[in-house]
Chain A
């Protein structure tokens, strides 16, 4: 297959070669069960303990036993919320935001059907969370607050430290879905003052099928799965040993790389500024400043996102879109709608997300390729005046 310019790293990332190397022994010779008494398994148990320490350091946890290994970000989110409300049975109110990942939103919708009262905190036009609204929504009945660290579609960072401080005083459990922040900005659970925090391995160059939930010491959490003693009974099941080792290695590499994160930001900004200046019908979705350094979400007016993606794909460029058609649903993304992005550009929104493997050459190639694609689709569009080279007035 031809080389792909992969600009869809918020969807998933390449497994780092060092991570593959670290995992391989556990997929062949070192297959012991970490729970076994014999040293063949016990050695593996020791390796897992080391890996757990690395993952704890990655999120700034004080103790390695505060890390519960899970199978995905979705599982961690579910364990955090379901595990907390199972403990605080008399409290029937949950606060989250309108722009959470489906792993949280779908669960909250289900709990709403079960009789829970859910507050979905709104965002402004730039995708920033309405902090005052969140604070006002908290009451004696609030069982848990679950807010994402950074939004997957726009990259906008939420004020989790302020929320954490506020909730700590109130004594209300705070869960942070940090899936899109891990590896892009430093994470420190003590600065955030959260009791629970979710990460997912495949978003920072570990393989798919491995995630973790940070559970602050003393936090009340009931398991969702029942079985053996693994993860201190909070998430039983024989360990995904290679996955844990891989995620720990990936966490170590990500922390090293955070020192060079400005380079990723420089390339992202080059792409973004290049596209915004090349097309007068393009605009940025999301707050320009308060963002993770790898994400750029751009709305192209008068053309449709899936068509852009298909044309990009033909040129070997992988990106993603918040358009209705690309997702299989019929409405544009819930995030863009919550921000009030007009339909004229929401349907044509494209998310570019970089990784530390993205090169300047790839960004230049994308900048060179986009005009051809956008102009082609504008020519086809009934909302574009080809003679005047401007959009036609649209009566909605």
Chain B
């Protein structure tokens, strides 16, 4: 049995905004019945670019229905500009977390939104292709572009991660070598940024420690505290930072995601781009 959060259970039991909008301004469909999940998103948008109504039809499991419901709830009443910034992680956050194997449900929600917004701008979107780019996983029709974007947004490190988030590689497995190549390429990418950093003077140990402490206190803690979570700095050893997640973070299912996407990302942004964060339980 999946370990679904109460929010996920609530939303697949009583999904909001089910149905279609007959005079929708834009309709976007992603996924397919072959893949095992599909989502059709209907949006109504007023002259001020405010999304006044959003409805969905979903073929899929409990978490696919919950992700679709969450997406529509998140965007109604918002400006298109604002909605453009929504990522699959925001959907996951809204749901209080998703099992790793079900992350692709949140990605599907985000894909539908992205496709709808593209169509709205009049950009051409080809049918049955999630994004432009070469199809890497033929079983599930997952493209190169989608895989790369999901790797970057979710800081994915392994082929298993990619499969959990996009399904790519989950069937016949013949694209796994290609997925490994993409992972390597994406890992090598920040190299251009690194060069800029290298020209800077390397940090002394004391300065690095000061910066880590400042960033945790001034940047990271306030974000976590918004969600009734907290963080404690346990130790710093060179570029390895040891922290403990407290409050609601400590038993959060996506604490690992929080650690990588928030804590490590912020420390890399504010201190050094090769800081590694470890969690002490």
Contact B140 A382 (CB under 8 A): no
Let me know if B62 is at the binding interface, CB within 8 A: yes
Chain B: number of interface residues, binned into ranges? 20 to 34
Contacts A307-B12, A314-B13, A330-B140: A381 and B36 contacting too (C-beta < 8 A)?
no
Say yes or no: B65 contacts A307, CB within 8 Å. Answer: yes
CB pair A383–B36 under 8 Å, yes or no, is no
Within the complex, what minimum Cβ distance (angstroms) separates A373 from chain B?
11
Beta-carbon contact of B101 and A328 below 8 Å: yes
Residues of A within 8 A of B34 (CB): 343, 396
In the complex, whether A153 has a CB less than 8 A from a CB of chain B is no
Q: B interface, by DSSP: helix, strand, loop or mixed? A: mixed
Q: How far, in whole Å, are A325 and B37 apart by their CA atoms in the complex?
A: 9
Q: How far is the CB of A184 from chain B (nearest CB, A)?
A: 26
A329 interface residue per 8 A CB criterion? yes
Name the residue on B nearest A330 (C-beta).
B170
Does the CB pair A325–B60 fall under 8 Å?
Answer: yes
B-binding segment of A22-30, A57-65, A205-213, A298-306: A298-306
Interchain CA distance A203-B264 in the complex, whole Å: 49
Is B87 an interface residue when CB atoms closer than 8 A count as contact?
no
Asked whether A382 lies within 8 Å of B59 as measured between CB atoms, the reply is: yes
Distance between A384 CB and nearest chain B CB, rounded to angstroms: 8
Chain A residue with minimal CB distance to B140? A330
B12, B33, B65: which contacts A383 (Cβ < 8 A)?
B33
Given contacts A344-B33, A396-B33, contact A381 B170 (CB under 8 A): no
Instruction: Give Cα distance in the complex from A394 to B64, angstroms.
Output: 20
Give the nearest-CB partner of A326 in chain B.
B61
Is B39 on the interface with A (CB-CB < 8 A)? yes
CB closest residue in chain A, given B37: A304
In whole angstroms, how far apart are the Cα atoms of A331 and B139 in the complex? 10
Choose one: B36, B57, B62, B101; the contact of A382 (CB below 8 Å).
B57
A73 at the interface (CB under 8 A from B): no
Q: In the complex, how many angstroms separate the beta carbon of A6 from the nearest chain B beta carbon?
A: 15
Judged by a CB distance under 8 angstroms, whether B250 is at the interface is no
Cβ of A332 under 8 Å from chain B: yes
1/0 per residue B3-28: CB within 8 Å of A?
00000000011010011000000000
Question: B115 on the interface (CB 8 Å rule)?
Answer: no
Whether B33 and A394, one on each chain, are in contact in the complex, defined by CB atoms closer than 8 angstroms, is yes
When the two chains form the complex, which single residue of A330, A379, A394, A396 contacts B36, counting CB atoms closer than 8 Å?
A: A330
Other-chain contact of A304, B64, B101, B163 (Cβ < 8 Å): B64
A323 contacts B by Cβ under 8 Å: yes
Given contacts A324-B36, A381-B57, contact A307 B62 (CB under 8 A): yes
Residue of A nearest to B69 (CB): A380
**B58 on interface, CB distance cutoff 8 Å:** yes
Residues of B within 8 A of A325 (CB): 36-37, 60-61, 63-64, 102
Q: How far is the CB of A22 from chain B (nearest CB, A)?
A: 31
Contact in complex: B59, A331 (CB < 8 Å): no
Tell me the bound Cα distance from A176 to B13 in angstroms. Answer: 43
Could you tell me if B59 and A323 are in contact, using CB atoms closer than 8 angstroms? no
Please determine whether B29 and A382 come into contact, CB atoms closer than 8 angstroms. yes
* Cβ–Cβ < 8 Å partners of B266 in chain A: none
A interface size (C-beta, 8 A):
28
| A92, B251: Cα distance in complex, Å | 51
A347 at the interface (CB under 8 A from B): yes
B38 lies within 8 A of chain A by Cβ: yes
Q: Residue of A at shortest CB range from B170? A: A330
What sequence of 0s and 1s flags, for each residue 62-92 of chain B, a beta carbon within 8 Å of any chain A beta carbon? Answer: 1111000000000000000000000000000
Known: A314-B13, A330-B140. Contact between A380 and B58, CB under 8 A?
Answer: yes
A313's nearest neighbour on chain B, judged by CB, is: B1
Q: Is A224 an interface residue (CB 8 A)?
A: no
B202 CB to nearest chain A CB (Å):
45
Residues of B within 8 A of A306 (CB): 61-62
Task: For A305, list chain B residues within 8 Å (CB).
Answer: 61
Contact code string B22-52 (vs A, CB < 8 Å = 1, else 0): 0000000100111011111000000000000
Instruction: Say if the beta carbon of B129 comes within 8 Å of chain A.
Output: no
The answer to whether the Cβ of B110 comes within 8 Å of any Cβ in the partner chain is: no
Q: Residue B187 at the A interface, CB < 8 A?
A: no
What is the distance, in angstroms, from B150's C-beta to the closest C-beta of chain A?
Answer: 15
Which B residues are in CB contact (< 8 Å) with A344? 33
A310 within 8 A of B: yes
Tell me the bound Cα distance from A304 to B18 in angstroms: 16
Q: A304-B59, A304-B61, A329-B170 are in contact. Are A323 and B18 (CB under 8 A)?
A: no
Instruction: Assess the A347–B58 pair: CB atoms within 8 A.
Output: no
Q: Are B33 and A343 in contact (CB under 8 A)?
A: yes
- CB pair A310 B64 closer than 8 Å: no
Residue pair A330, B171 in contact (C-beta under 8 Å):
yes
The proximity string for B residues 205-239 relative to A, scoring 1 for CB distances below 8 Å and 0 otherwise, is 00000000000000000000000000000000000
CA distance A343 to B170 in the complex (A): 16
Q: Name the A residues within 8 Å of B18 (CB-CB).
A: 379-380
Using a CB–CB distance below 8 Å, which chain B residues touch chain A? 12-13, 15, 18-19, 29, 32-34, 36-40, 57-65, 101-102, 139-140, 163, 167, 170-171
Beyond A307-B62, A325-B60, 19 additional pairs, beta carbon < 8 A:
A303-B59, A304-B64, A306-B62, A307-B64, A307-B65, A311-B13, A323-B61, A325-B36, A325-B61, A330-B163, A330-B171, A343-B33, A347-B36, A380-B57, A380-B59, A381-B59, A382-B58, A396-B32, A396-B34
9 A-B pairs closest in CB distance: A330-B170, A325-B61, A306-B61, A382-B57, A382-B40, A310-B62, A324-B36, A343-B34, A347-B36
Cross-chain pairs A/B with CB under 8 angstroms, 8 sampled: A303-B59, A324-B36, A328-B101, A347-B36, A379-B18, A380-B65, A382-B38, A382-B39
